[in-house]
A and B are shown apart, each in its own frame.
Chain A
Amino acid sequence: MGRIVGIDLGTTNSLVAWVDRGVPRVIPDGDGRALLPSVVAFTPGGTLVGEPARRQLARNPGQTIYSVKRFMGQGYDDVEAELRRLPWDVMPSAEVVRIKVAGREVTPPEVSAEVLRALKERAEAFFDEPVAQAVITVPAYFNDAQRQATKDAGRIAGLDVLRIVNEPTAASLAYGLERLHQGVVAVYDLGGGTFDISILRVTDGVFEVLATNGDTHLGGDDFDWALVEWLAADIRRAHGVDVTADPEALQELRLGAEAAKCRLSADTRTLLTIPFEGFTYAREIARGEVEARIAPLVGRTLGPCRQALADAGLTAPAIDHVVLVGGSTRVPLVRQRVEALFGRTPRSQLNPDEVVALGAAVQAQILAGGITDMLLLDVTPLSLGLETLGGVVSVLIPRNTTIPTMAREYFTTSVDGQVTVDLHVLQGERELARDNRSLARFDLTGVDPMPAGMPKIEVTFLIDANGILHVQAQEQRSGKAASVRVTPTYGLSEAEVARMVEDSFTHAEADVTARLTIEAQTEAATVMTHVERALRQGGALLEGDERARIEAALRALDEARRGSDRDLIRDRIMALNRATERLAAAMMDTALKAALASRRAEEILDQT
C-alpha cells in the first residue's frame, strides 16, 4: 500500500500531515509554511492556489474564490443570501452552486479540488514520490451531500479518499495519541466557516463519540462580516463613501477587519489602516468593540453545545476535559463563553490550526495498519428518514447513531402492475419533510408486475464509516435485486464527477515552473497597484528624487513581469519594496496621527 496522508480541508486554511515514526507532523511547503490558504484564483494566465491567490484577492475579487467550503453540497437557494455579499458571478437556479470564472463554470468540489491538488503536490515534493491516497476531514455536522461533495473533490484532484473523518474527532485522536486526555471530553471546534461540538468517551485507546451537534454556516467568516458591516457604516460617516458598493474596496475592508480581529486576540487595542482609492481609513479599535459585534454569533454556538450534552445523556459537570479546536477559538470571548458553559478551563496545548490535520494523519496511519491500539467509533450527526404520506418524515436512523449502521424497510406497490417505487430520503430533525434536507430520490425499478400490495421490496439503508449513505433494494418474492436509480438533490451525478476528473487533467498546470512564474507575475501586478495608489495619495509626503526612484523601479518591474524570468521578477519586486519603504512608513504615521486625533476629538465630545 502506498503512503496515506491526512488532509484538513478548511474554510480558511488547509493542511496536509503524516505520521513520522509515531509522531504526527504537518508537511510544510517549500518556504516552510504549514497553512495553505483555501483560496483559488482563476486568472487569464492560469490558476493560482494558496498565498499567491489570497494576495491578489482584492484586485481580482470576481475571479478569486475563497471560503468555498461553505458552498460544498449546497443548493443555490440555500446560499443565495450569502452569495449576495460575495463578488462572484453565480449561475442562478442551478441546483448545485456554479460559479463563472475565466470563461467557464466551476462547482465548489472543483474549486476544493484545486486546493487538494496543491496539498497533494506539496506532499509529493516532500516525500519525492507520488501520493495518491488520503484521509480528509469534514465538519462533524456535515450532511450526506456535503460529505459526498468532499469525496468528489478528492477524486477530481486525483486522490483516492480512503476515509472522511469528522474534524472534532480527528482533533481528539491527536490529543489522544499524545495521551493528553482520558474520560469524557467535549471538543469545541469553531473554524472559519463551521462550528462543531462533539462529546466523546475516551478510554484505553477507544474514542467513542457519544453525541455531536453544530452549525455548518457559523465561523470566523461571520465574525468578519459583522465587523465589515460596522466599519462600513463608520466609513460612511467619516468619509461619506459607501465601500460596500465597490467589490475591491469591500474585500480590502474584509481583509483589514479580519487582520484586526486576529490582532485583538492578543492585544486589547489595535490600529486599523486601510488605503482606499482617494482616502485612507484609519481608526483605533478596542477589543470590547469587536466583542459587542460578535457576541450574538458566539452565543449561537451554545445551543448546539447544550443539545449535544442532552443527547449524550450528560450534564456539564460530567465533562472531564474541554478541548478547543479551530482558529476562531483564539478569540478571548469564545474562550470565556465556553468556560462559563462547561465550568472548566478549556485546553489548547496543541495548535488549534494544526490539530485536525494531525488527527487526520493519525487516522490515515490506523487505516494503513500502523496503529492498532486505537479505535474510533463515530456517529451520524443527523437523523435519516423517509418521506411518508402527508409529507411527514419517518425516521430510519436517529441522529447520534454509531456508524457504520444500517436500517431495513419493506415497501410494496399501491397499484396493480406497478413496476417502480419512488423513495424520498431526507436528513434532519424536523417532523415535516419540507423542513429537512432532501438528500436524494431513489427510483426502485424492475419490479415484476404483480397485483397491488403483492411485491415485498426490502430496502437496506447503510451509512458507512464516512457517514455516507448507500441504498440497496431487493424484491423478496423473486429474490431479484431491484435496481436503484439515485437522483442526488444537491450533488453532482457520477457522470459529472467523471467528466470533471477528465477536465482536471486538461486544466491542471502541467508544469510547476510555469505556475510559479504566473504567481510571480500576479504578485508583481498586485504590488504595482498598491504603489501606484500610494503615489497618488501620498504625493505630498514624497522627498527629493523619491518619486523618480519609485517610478524607475515600477518601470523595471513592469518590464520584468512581461517576461517569464521568475527570479528577475522577484528581485524587482524586492527593489520596488525597498524604494517605497520610507513612503509607506510616512503614510502610516500620518494615518495613525489622524486616527488618534479623531479619537481625542471624540473623547472631548463625549465629556462635554
Chain B
Amino acid sequence: MDDCFAVFELPRKLVIDAEDLRQRFYALSRRHHPDFHHGGPADAQAAALARSARINRAYRALRDPLGRVEHLIAVEEGREVRDASAGRPAAPRELLEEMLEVQEALEEARGDGLGPATRARLEDERQRLLARQAAEEAAILGRAPEWDAAVDGGGDRPTLLGWFKQRLAARAYLRTVIDDLTDALGEARDEHGAHRRH
C-alpha cells in the first residue's frame, strides 16, 4: 500500500490541518501536473501522469479525517484498501443483540408491508442508528490525538490501532443497516454506498 502520508512528507499522524494539507497538495500538483510537462518526451509525460495520479489519490485518502484513519490502518498493516465495497461487513459482537430487533422490524416490513406503525418504528430506529453512527465517528476522531502522542512518545500503538479498527467496523456495519432501513422506508437510494461514505 502506497503511504499517502509520505507523499506529502508527513508523519503517520491523524491530526492534520486541512489548509496545510491543501497547500501541500497544490504545491506538489504545480510541480507534477501533466499540463506542465506537455511538450516533453513521451516517457516524461507518462511519469508526470503517474505522479499526478498518485498525488491526487493521496490527497483524497487523507482529506477526510475518518478516511485518514482507514488509510492509517491499511499502511500500518501493509495491506490494500479497496475503495469498492467488498461485500457486507459482519456485525460486531456488541451490536448483535440490538441489531436483532432492527432485523425483526425489517422482516416484518418485508412480510406484512409498510403499515403506519411499522413505518414509525423503522423511522425511529433509523434516527437512533444515525445518532449512534455520529457518536462512533466522534469517538474515533476523539482519540486521534492519542495516536499522535503514541507516535511521538512510543505509546501502545497496536492496541490503539486495534481499537480504531473495531470502531470503524462497527461504523461500517451501522451504515449498511441504515441503508437497509432507508430502502425499506422506500426512500430514494439507488446510488452506490461509496458516495455516502464521507
Tell whether A pairs with B.
yes
The reply to whether A407 and B60 form a contact with Cβ atoms under 8 Å apart is no
The reply to whether A206 and B192 form a contact with Cβ atoms under 8 Å apart is no
B36-69 contacts to A, CB under 8 A, are: 36, 38-39, 49-50, 52-54, 56-57, 59-60
Contact of A405 among B30, B33, B53, B190 (CB under 8 A): B53
The reply to whether A402 and B35 form a contact with Cβ atoms under 8 Å apart is no
The reply to whether B83 and A402 form a contact with Cβ atoms under 8 Å apart is no
The reply to whether A375 and B29 form a contact with Cβ atoms under 8 Å apart is yes
Q: What is the total of A-B residue contacts with beta carbons within 8 Å?
A: 91
Contacts of B36 in A (CB 8 A): 369, 372
The reply to whether A395 and B84 form a contact with Cβ atoms under 8 Å apart is yes
A402-429 contacts to B, CB under 8 A, are: 402-407, 409, 429
A464 with B34, Cβ < 8 A, contacts A403-B56, A406-B53 known: yes
A376 with B34, Cβ < 8 A, contacts A396-B84, A431-B191 known: no
The reply to whether A395 and B194 form a contact with Cβ atoms under 8 Å apart is yes
Determine how close the nearest CB of chain A comes to the CB of B51; give it in whole angstroms. 9
The reply to whether B50 and A401 form a contact with Cβ atoms under 8 Å apart is no
The closest CB in chain A to the CB of B197 belongs to: A398
The reply to whether B192 and A393 form a contact with Cβ atoms under 8 Å apart is yes
The closest CB in chain B to the CB of A400 belongs to: B195
A311 with B26, Cβ < 8 A, contacts A375-B35, A376-B35, A464-B34 known: no
User: Is B159 an interface residue when CB atoms closer than 8 A count as contact?
Assistant: no
Determine how close the nearest CB of chain B comes to the CB of A284; give it in whole angstroms. 42
Q: Which residue among B34, B83, B86, B191 has the maximum number of chain A CB atoms within 10 Å of its CB? A: B83
Contacts of A271 in B (CB 8 A): none
A344-381 contacts to B, CB under 8 A, are: 366-369, 372, 375-377
Q: In whole angstroms, what is the CA distance A163 to B49 when docked?
A: 13
Q: In whole angstroms, what is the CA distance A393 to B85 when docked?
A: 9
Determine how close the nearest CB of chain B comes to the CB of A361; give it in whole angstroms. 14
The reply to whether A375 and B85 form a contact with Cβ atoms under 8 Å apart is no
Contacts of A244 in B (CB 8 A): none
A367 with B38, Cβ < 8 A, contacts A393-B192, A395-B194, A404-B49 known: yes
The DSSP consensus for interface residues of chain A is: strand
The reply to whether B190 and A435 form a contact with Cβ atoms under 8 Å apart is yes
Q: In whole angstroms, what is the CA distance A311 to B29 when docked?
A: 22
Contacts of B86 in A (CB 8 A): 394
Q: Which residue among A208, A394, A404 has the maximum number of chain B CB atoms within 10 Å of its CB? A: A404
Q: In whole angstroms, what is the CA distance A368 to B38 when docked?
A: 7
Contacts of B50 in A (CB 8 A): 406
Determine how close the nearest CB of chain B comes to the CB of A317; give it in whole angstroms. 19
The reply to whether B56 and A405 form a contact with Cβ atoms under 8 Å apart is yes
User: Is A397 an interface residue when CB atoms closer than 8 A count as contact?
Assistant: yes
The reply to whether B56 and A404 form a contact with Cβ atoms under 8 Å apart is yes
The reply to whether A162 and B38 form a contact with Cβ atoms under 8 Å apart is yes
Q: In whole angstroms, what is the CA distance A394 to B83 when docked?
A: 9
A394 with B85, Cβ < 8 A, contacts A372-B36, A404-B49, A431-B191 known: yes
User: Is A176 an interface residue when CB atoms closer than 8 A count as contact?
Assistant: no
B149-192 contacts to A, CB under 8 A, are: 190-192
The reply to whether A465 and B60 form a contact with Cβ atoms under 8 Å apart is no
Q: In whole angstroms, what is the CA distance A386 to B38 when docked?
A: 31
Determine how close the nearest CB of chain B comes to the CB of A371; give it in whole angstroms. 10
The closest CB in chain B to the CB of A379 belongs to: B56
B1-50 contacts to A, CB under 8 A, are: 26, 29-30, 33-36, 38-39, 49-50
The reply to whether A431 and B83 form a contact with Cβ atoms under 8 Å apart is no
A375 with B30, Cβ < 8 A, contacts A367-B38, A404-B49 known: yes
The reply to whether B195 and A465 form a contact with Cβ atoms under 8 Å apart is no
Contacts of A368 in B (CB 8 A): 38-39
User: Is A510 an interface residue when CB atoms closer than 8 A count as contact?
Assistant: no
A1-42 contacts to B, CB under 8 A, are: 1
The reply to whether A402 and B49 form a contact with Cβ atoms under 8 Å apart is no
Contact of A385 among B57, B59, B84, B190 (CB under 8 A): B84
Determine how close the nearest CB of chain A comes to the CB of B72; give it in whole angstroms. 20
Determine how close the nearest CB of chain B comes to the CB of A249; give it in whole angstroms. 42
Contacts of A206 in B (CB 8 A): 26, 29-30
Determine how close the nearest CB of chain A comes to the CB of B26; give it in whole angstroms. 5
The reply to whether B34 and A402 form a contact with Cβ atoms under 8 Å apart is no
A404 with B83, Cβ < 8 A, contacts A395-B194, A398-B195, A430-B190 known: no
Q: In whole angstroms, what is the CA distance A406 to B52 when docked?
A: 10
Contacts of A409 in B (CB 8 A): 84
The closest CB in chain B to the CB of A404 belongs to: B53
User: Is A194 an interface residue when CB atoms closer than 8 A count as contact?
Assistant: no
Determine how close the nearest CB of chain A comes to the CB of B149; give it in whole angstroms. 29
The reply to whether B195 and A429 form a contact with Cβ atoms under 8 Å apart is yes
Contacts of B39 in A (CB 8 A): 1, 368-369
Contacts of B34 in A (CB 8 A): 404, 464-465
The reply to whether A404 and B38 form a contact with Cβ atoms under 8 Å apart is no
User: Is A169 an interface residue when CB atoms closer than 8 A count as contact?
Assistant: no
The reply to whether A429 and B191 form a contact with Cβ atoms under 8 Å apart is yes
Q: In whole angstroms, what is the CA distance A375 to B39 when docked?
A: 16
Q: In whole angstroms, what is the CA distance A208 to B57 when docked?
A: 15
Contacts of A385 in B (CB 8 A): 84, 192
Q: Which residue among B33, B35, B52, B194 has the maximum number of chain A CB atoms within 10 Å of its CB? A: B35
Contacts of B195 in A (CB 8 A): 311, 383, 398-399, 429
User: Is A481 an interface residue when CB atoms closer than 8 A count as contact?
Assistant: no
The closest CB in chain B to the CB of A464 belongs to: B49
User: Is A274 an interface residue when CB atoms closer than 8 A count as contact?
Assistant: no
Contacts of B26 in A (CB 8 A): 203, 206, 208, 375
B59-93 contacts to A, CB under 8 A, are: 59-60, 83-86
A398 with B49, Cβ < 8 A, contacts A367-B35, A375-B29, A465-B35 known: no
User: Is A462 an interface residue when CB atoms closer than 8 A count as contact?
Assistant: yes
Q: In whole angstroms, what is the CA distance A403 to B59 when docked?
A: 12
Q: In whole angstroms, what is the CA distance A383 to B190 when docked?
A: 14
Determine how close the nearest CB of chain A comes to the CB of B97; give it in whole angstroms. 29
Q: In whole angstroms, what is the CA distance A402 to B29 when docked?
A: 11
Contacts of A203 in B (CB 8 A): 26
Q: In whole angstroms, what is the CA distance A262 to B72 when docked?
A: 56
The reply to whether A395 and B190 form a contact with Cβ atoms under 8 Å apart is no
Determine how close the nearest CB of chain A comes to the CB of B35; give it in whole angstroms. 5
The reply to whether A375 and B84 form a contact with Cβ atoms under 8 Å apart is no
Q: In whole angstroms, what is the CA distance A383 to B83 when docked?
A: 11
The closest CB in chain A to the CB of B36 belongs to: A372
The reply to whether A396 and B83 form a contact with Cβ atoms under 8 Å apart is yes
Q: In whole angstroms, what is the CA distance A247 to B11 when docked?
A: 69
Determine how close the nearest CB of chain B comes to the CB of A287; give it in whole angstroms. 34
A-B contact pairs, 22 of them (CB 8 A): A1-B39, A162-B38, A206-B29, A311-B195, A367-B35, A369-B38, A375-B33, A377-B56, A383-B194, A383-B195, A385-B84, A398-B83, A398-B194, A404-B52, A406-B53, A407-B83, A409-B84, A429-B191, A430-B190, A430-B191, A430-B192, A431-B190
List the 6 closest A-B pairs by CB distance, nearest first: A394-B84, A402-B56, A406-B53, A404-B53, A395-B194, A367-B38
List the interface of chain A (C-beta within 8 A of B). 1, 162-163, 203, 206, 208, 311, 366-369, 372, 375-377, 383, 385-386, 393-399, 401-407, 409, 429-431, 435, 462, 464-465
Instruction: Contacts A367-B38, A396-B84, A431-B191 known; list 18 others, CB within 8 Å.
Output: A208-B26, A366-B35, A375-B35, A395-B192, A398-B192, A398-B194, A402-B60, A404-B49, A404-B53, A405-B53, A405-B60, A406-B57, A409-B84, A429-B192, A430-B191, A431-B192, A464-B49, A465-B52
